[in-house]
Structure 1
């Protein structure tokens, strides 16, 4: 018994230390195990979250694509065809050449009905109106084609942002349109502003530009493809430079449509329609859109002149014709520029211009402040 006590006295410090070390080791082991289990649980949680986020991204992309394609279809099938039909009717009504042609034909068949001065005045009027209608058709077709695409991409971006916000707030069960349907239709309907309100000043200003460009060009002067191209482009350049910079925007949308500020994207007193119009105006006023519009007009004019050279081989404009003989060919090209989109080769040409698609890709991807 004494030996055990002696042994305990001699070694109890070592025993305490050993027990302490073993106890600490066991405690650390248990703590590590618990920590490891927590880490494993956290990793499983993160993996589930990643899978959920990936699924949400796929769903978001699918929903966004579906809404975007729906608006694209509305634009291609309804908005642009409707706008082009109205434009064609309005141009035919406001810039009707039939009465001038009838009077000239009447004077040709019955020389006594018109004096030489009257004939000359009629030919001069026919010259101005023919080129006015040509230049206006080029500009309006190009503008409507681009403006409807601006609308589609702005709406598409709004749909994407609204859908993303809904996913972030986990309120995916909410019903209703992401962008108010009434505001959406009202916004798309503004494409008719050109025909309903912008046409009178557009015709007046385009005619003034035409008179300036045709000054000194007599009916007996020879016109070839180069001269025709230069004349149409000169009319468009004079027209686009009239007044203050971007003054042409007044033909496309109401001047009071910029009711909200770009640097305050969601003020409480601004409707979604007003915000959409503000963004559309910002795009149309941007230098990049101006560059795209200029490129498109040049390409369309090239196509018009090229087609005129191929269409009227009996009296080829490529070789040169008196201006008086060019006027009927100019008049016959205008309805082709204003054909419905499914038949309109010039609208197809605009869509295929290399600079156009990247512009609208950037528009869809960026907020209006980028413009």
Structure 2
């Protein structure tokens, strides 16, 4: 029996070893493939989990950005526009001058105005009427652009933060912390123009209007096209007076620390440095905003709004103006009234909607969000 087994082994040893080798190799291959398959499953599962986590973070970012946009559209810009309207109407009120003219005609017990007093009063009305409307054009246009720049810069920062950080919890924690301070503080600068910059703006705009209107007499005829040209000349003169883009200082605080101190004082009623927050991020956002605004994005918007305003003037007058036009004195009241629709609430303000829908404005913000220098 043993001899026959040895004989069988001797005759078939090679085949048996080959068969065992094949079986062993097959088993090893199976184990390897099974291990590889399990590893692939784990990798795919991990990738699915990472994609799901990224999707959650993206949704959180989108929600946060939409909240910022909502705050800007429903609170920041409406409040800033309301305050801007009240400041411009207050600083450029001409009702006391028109009343002075009425009283000077002997319609009250007040003594009649001398020819010089009457002339000086009309000259003031002329300057202030154009100053009020052109200031409104500039302030409304720049404020609406500024608020959109704010939201775009914030959106880009959120995206860049997401791109840099791989830890979702870390990103969410940083975003939540910043949303409570930096975002809100940055959006709050939208009322800086009406609060701190408006007086300097009006003073310089009045200088520009005085220079352009000094040769235009009250009896001189003026047509619609000449009104538009006069408005554009005042805007150009104003921008020329603002050397080195100093007009940006009317919109954006020059120094984040000083601005934060002003906010602390206004909120508490006294100088309390303990109320100051970390302003490093706020300073970064404000610096970026100043750079963006210096790219001169508003020229086309200002010209567009000036054209629309003059079209509104033609509608107010009603009948076509015969050449060479109406006496300037008869146009002043209507010119002054043009400022009112310019400073309407955003949801009722057609001028803001026109600016937002301009293709070049939309293109600019697209480039800005992508952090690419737009061509202007």
TM-score relative to the length of structure 2? 0.82
**2:244 alignment partner in structure 1:** 245
**1:134 alignment partner in structure 2:** 133
**1:102 alignment partner in structure 2:** 99
Cα 1:31–1:244 change in 2 (3 A) is farther
> Aligned equivalents of 2:37 and 2:100: distance in 1?
93
> Aligned equivalents of 2:88 and 2:164: distance in 1?
44
> Shift of the alpha carbon at 1:60?
2.6
Could you tell which deviates more after superposition, 274-283 or 185-194? Answer: 274-283
Query: How many correspondences in the alignment?
Result: 353
**2:187 alignment partner in structure 1:** 188
**2:304 alignment partner in structure 1:** 299
CA contact (8 A) 2:162 2:171 kept: no
- 1:74 has 2:79 as partner: no
Cα 1:133–1:55 change in 2 (3 A) is same
Could you tell which deviates more after superposition, 19-28 or 35-44? Answer: 19-28
**1:326 alignment partner in structure 2:** 331
> Shift of the alpha carbon at 1:24?
4.7
Q: 1:124-166: per-residue Cα shift (whole Å, max 9, x none)? A: 1111111111111000001111111111222223334445666
**2:121 alignment partner in structure 1:** 122
Cα 1:187–1:181 change in 2 (3 A) is same
> Shift of the alpha carbon at 1:74?
0.9
Cα 1:352–1:369 change in 2 (3 A) is closer
Structure 1 stretches lacking a partner, 5+ long: 260-268
**1:281 alignment partner in structure 2:** 290
> Shift of the alpha carbon at 1:112?
6.2
Cα 1:370–1:237 change in 2 (3 A) is closer
SS in 2 for 1:335: helix
Cα 1:310–1:173 change in 2 (3 A) is closer
**1:53 alignment partner in structure 2:** 50
> Aligned equivalents of 1:103 and 1:88: distance in 2?
24
* Match of residue 167, structure 2, among 139, 158, 169: 169
Q: 1:164-221: per-residue Cα shift (whole Å, max 9, x none)? A: 666x214279668252413322211111211121112111111111122223111122
> Aligned equivalents of 1:223 and 1:369: distance in 2?
39
> Aligned equivalents of 2:20 and 2:114: distance in 1?
125
> Aligned equivalents of 2:91 and 2:172: distance in 1?
49
> Aligned equivalents of 1:243 and 1:82: distance in 2?
27
**1:210 alignment partner in structure 2:** 209
* Match of residue 63, structure 1, among 60, 63, 68: 60
> Shift of the alpha carbon at 1:305?
0.7
* Match of residue 336, structure 1, among 335, 341, 357: 341
TM-score relative to the length of structure 1? 0.83
> Aligned equivalents of 2:331 and 2:237: distance in 1?
22
Q: RMSD over aligned Cα, in angstroms?
A: 3.3
**2:112 alignment partner in structure 1:** 113
**1:152 alignment partner in structure 2:** 151
SS in 2 for 1:241: helix
Q: 1:231-262: per-residue Cα shift (whole Å, max 9, x none)? A: 11111112112242311111112222499xxx
